[in-house]
Amino acid sequence: MSLSTQPATHKRARKAVFASWIGTTIEYYDFSGYGLAASLIFPTLFFAGTDPAIATLLSLSTFAVGYIARPIGAVVFGHFGDRIGRKTTLIVTLILMGASTFAIGILPTYSQIGVAAPALLVIARLLQGFSVGGEYGGAVLMTVEHSSGRNRGFLGSLINTGATAGLLLANLAFLLVFQLPDEQLMSWGWRIPFLLSGILVIVGLAARIALEETPAFAEVKQDGAVEQRPIVDVMRNHLRTVLLVALGIIAAGTAFTMTTVFSLSYGKNALGLSSSTMLAVLLPSTVVILVCLPLFGKLADRVGIRKVFLSGAVSLIFLPFCWFTLLDTRNYGAMLLGFALLFVGYSANYAVVPVYFSQVFPPAVRFTGMSVGLTIGLIAGNAIAPSISSLILDATGGWMLIALYMSGTALISIVAGIFLKLPTTTVNQTDSVSPHTAETIVS
C-alpha cells in the first residue's frame, strides 16, 4: 500500500513540516535543557551531600531515566496513533511533554525538601520520556505521509533540523542564565529555561490543531484496515525490522548525546574549562547540522537513502578520535573544528532516518513500529552514553576507550543499515515517483 494515493499539495506539506518541526524542536529543547542541567546544575541542587563525582553520575543517571519510559510511551501512543490517527495523538504528546518540562522548572530542591526532591525530579523525567516516546515517530509520519515521493528525503531531514533548533534554543537559554551570579543562578535562574518551554508548546499546539490527518492513515481507515492491536502485529510480523531500526539509530543517538551532554562535563572535569566556554564552542558548531541535514536529505533523494545513511555511519567510526584530539588542545578554533567534523558525519547518518525508518513498516502499524524501534535504539544509544563515558573517564582518566565505544556504535548501525532494506513494492507505489527516483530511493 502506498504512503498516499492522493497528491500532497505544497501547502499541506508545508503545514505538516512546520507542525512536525515545532514538536521535534520542543522535544529536543526539553531534553537538551535537561541534559545541560543534569551535567552542570542538578548535581548540586538535587544530589547535595554526596561526592561531586558521584553526584554528577547520579544526575546523569536521571537523564537516562527518561529513556526508560520511552518504550512505554511508544507502545501507548503508537497504539492510538495507529488506531485513532496521527494528529490527535500528537496533540496529546505535545501537551504532556510541555507540562512535564514546566513541572521541572517549579520543583523544590534537595535543600528544601530533602530526598523527595530527586524523587520528584525522576517522576517528572519519566513523564517527559513517556510523552517523547510517541512524539518523534508521529512527527516524522506527519511529514513523510503528507509529502510526495520525490522530496521525502529532503522534507524528512527538515524535521530533524528541529533537533538542532531545540538544542540551540536550550543552550542559548542556559547561556543567558549562566551570566547570573551563582547565588541567583542556583536559586531561581536555572528554572527559567524549563518554564519557557510553555511558550513553545502553545505555538506547537496551534500548528497541530490546524493540521489535517495524514492521507496514509485516512486511506487505512477508509479501507477498514485499522489494526485493533498494532503492537501485537508489530511483534508478530515485524520484530526483525523493529530490532534493525533500533540498532540503526544507535550511532546517531550516541554522537548527538556525547556532543551535547557529555562534552560539557568532559570540558569541565577533564579539561578544566568553564561551562560558558564549552557552550561558546558547541553553539556555533551546531550551525553545521542545520546546513548539512537538508543537504544530505536532498542528496538522498537523488542517490538513495541507504547510501547516505551508511556513508554517515562509516564516518562516525573515525570522527570521534578527531573530535577528542581537537578538544584536548583547549584551543577554541581547534575545538570548533572538532565539533564541526563530527556533526557532518552525524548529519549524513541522521538526515535520512525519517524517510528510511518510516517506510520499512506498512501504514497500519507504522506509528507503533517506528516509535518502538526508535525508542529501544535511543535507550541503547542516547540514554546510557553519558553515564558509560563518565565511568570510563573516571576509571581511565582518558578518552581513548570512550572514542572506541562511540566507534563501536557506528559499526552496529552499519550492520543494521546493510540488512534494513526498503520494500521495493512500497517505493514503487509511492505517489508520483519516476522509475529513476524509485530506484535511487531503494539504493
Residues near 11 by Cβ (< 8 Å), separated by ≥ 6?
none
Of the pLDDT bands very low, low, confident and very high (cuts 50, 70, 90), residue 442 is very low
Mean pLDDT of all residues belonging to the chain: 85
pLDDT at 254 over 60: yes
Closest C-alpha to 335, from 346, 327, 324: 327
DSSP character at residue 2 = -
Side-chain half-sphere exposure of 136, counting CA atoms within 13 A: 32
The CA-CA-CA angle for residues 377, 411, 57, to 5°, reads 55
φ and ψ of 260, to 5 deg = -100, -20
pLDDT of residue 149: 66
Burial class from Cβ neighbours inside 10 Å (0-12, 13-18, 19+) for residue 210 reads exposed
Query: Could you give the CA distance from residue 267 to residue 76 in angstroms, rounded to a whole number?
Result: 38
How far does the chain reach from its first CA to its final CA, in angstroms? 20
The grid cell for 351 is 538526515
Helix (H, G, I), strand (E, B) or coil at 183: helix
pLDDT at 317 over 90: yes
DSSP character at residue 384 = T
CB-CB neighbours of 415 under 10 Å: 13
pLDDT in tens, 368-406: 998 899 888 988 887 788 889 988 998 898 999 999 999
Of the pLDDT bands very low, low, confident and very high (cuts 50, 70, 90), residue 437 is very low
CB-CB neighbours of 432 under 10 Å: 11
The CA-CA-CA angle for residues 375, 293, 318, to 5°, reads 75
pLDDT at 443 over 60: no
CB-CB neighbours of 206 under 10 Å: 11
φ and ψ of 377, to 5 deg = -65, -35
Of the pLDDT bands very low, low, confident and very high (cuts 50, 70, 90), residue 426 is very low
10-442: CATH architecture:
Up-down Bundle (1.20)
Radius of gyration of the chain (CA): 21
pLDDT in tens, 198-229: 888 888 888 888 878 777 788 888 877 787 88
231 sits in which H/E element: helix 230-237
Give the mean model confidence (pLDDT) for residues 28-32. Answer: 82
pLDDT of residue 166: 87
Give the mean model confidence (pLDDT) for residues 65-91. Answer: 86
Query: Could you give the CA distance from residue 202 to residue 29 in angstroms, rounded to a whole number?
Result: 14
Lowest mean pLDDT among 150-154, 242-246, 432-436: 432-436
Single-letter amino acid, residue 259: T
Of the pLDDT bands very low, low, confident and very high (cuts 50, 70, 90), residue 9 is low
Give the mean model confidence (pLDDT) for residues 34-50. Answer: 81
Give the mean model confidence (pLDDT) for residues 140-160. Answer: 81
Give the mean model confidence (pLDDT) for residues 175-200. Answer: 87
Residues near 83 by Cβ (< 8 Å), separated by ≥ 6?
226, 227, 228, 230
Of the pLDDT bands very low, low, confident and very high (cuts 50, 70, 90), residue 4 is very low
Asked if residues 242 and 373 have their Cβ atoms less than 8 Å apart, the reply is yes
Give the mean model confidence (pLDDT) for residues 424-436. Answer: 38
pLDDT of residue 339: 96
CA 403 to chain centre: 21
Whole-Å CA distances, 50 to 7, 108, 199, 292, 300: 60, 18, 35, 42, 49
Is 427 or 308 the better-scoring residue by pLDDT? 308
Give the mean model confidence (pLDDT) for residues 317-331. Answer: 96
pLDDT at 432 over 60: no
